[in-house]
Amino acid sequence: MPEKTRDGNDISGKTDLGEKAYRLLYGEIVRCKILPGDDITEAQMCEKYDLSRSPVRRALALLAHDGLITPIPRLGFHVSDISLVAIRQTFEMRAALEGLAARASVGRVNVDLLRKLNEEYVSSAKAGRHGTMEIHNKIHREIYAASNNPILEKVLTQLLDQSNRIAYFVPKVGGRAYSRSDINAEEHELLFDAISANDAEKTAALFQAHIRESEEQVVEALMQSRYFSELPIRVEGRAAETF
């Protein structure tokens, strides 16, 4: 019998079941269906997703390696919290590395494809269709792939997933989620123009600014959260404090 989740998703086949269970649980954590701060156990994951122990055990080990969960001896695992410090650090790394990737992608990336994806992204957002975030992610992943640096691509993909997790987290704690009015066709066009002009330095600077702007939007949204006073935040380079 093929190994499936309760939703009917087939996770069997040639790929290792542990790897497929890992992808499933990874996605659930990124989408905040398994919430930051939750304590989970191997038995719970087996029961919730109707999986056997061996692939779940393998998946949890990989998630711990990623830093998405932390083992608690004899008790299970703690799903990594999202703090303002972690948010700042994630976007700081993305801004620096995405600038490198964008610079390297000039002359390599298919700008027509980027513009087509951007049109799909905007129309999907305006229509309120499911999968809008994934279309947006494809734009950035095209840049990563065109950098011709597999290590940089892998790290940025992980950071993008962390950013997605933060985006899913914001409305979970009462912050304002992105609305259709926040998204427009010009959001990425300046970036594409710089790439088309083969201006590597301007492309890098614009992508860095784009990520920093996203960071400020996330922080502003979290400030509206009813839980904002409970979130740790770093002030002027000092140790994490709580307002």
pLDDT digits (tens, 9 = 90+) for 37-86: 999 999 999 999 999 999 999 999 999 999 999 999 989 999 999 888 88
How does DSSP classify residue 156? H
Average pLDDT on 118-134 reads 88
Q: Which fold has domain 84-238?
A: Four Helix Bundle (Hemerythrin (Met), subunit A) (1.20.120)
What is the token pair recorded at 68?
Answer: 């998405």
Contact residues for 129 (Cβ-Cβ < 8 A; gap 6+): none
CA angle in degrees (0–180, nearest 5) for 52-56-58 = 125
Give the SS3 label for residue 241. strand
String of DSSP letters for 71-111: EETTTEEEEPP--HHHHHHHHHHHHHHHHHHHHHHTTTS-H
Class of the CATH domain delimited by 17-79: mainly alpha
pLDDT attached to residue 222: 81
**pLDDT-based confidence at 234, cuts 50/70/90?**
very low
What is the token pair recorded at 98?
Answer: 């995405």
**pLDDT-based confidence at 224, cuts 50/70/90?**
confident
**pLDDT-based confidence at 223, cuts 50/70/90?**
confident
Mean pLDDT of the chain: 85
- Ranges 38-42, 64-68, 202-206, 228-232: which has the least confidence: 228-232
CATH 1.20.120.530 domain position(s) in the chain = 84-238
pLDDT at 6 over 70: no
- Per-residue pLDDT of 146-189, as tens digits, reads 999 999 999 999 999 999 999 998 888 776 665 555 666 677 89
Q: Exposed/middle/buried for 228, CB within 10 Å: 0-12, 13-18, 19+?
A: middle
CATH 1.10.10.10 domain position(s) in the chain = 17-79
- Per-residue pLDDT of 13-39, as tens digits, reads 445 888 999 999 999 999 999 999 999
How far apart are alpha carbons 160 and 237 in whole angstroms? 24
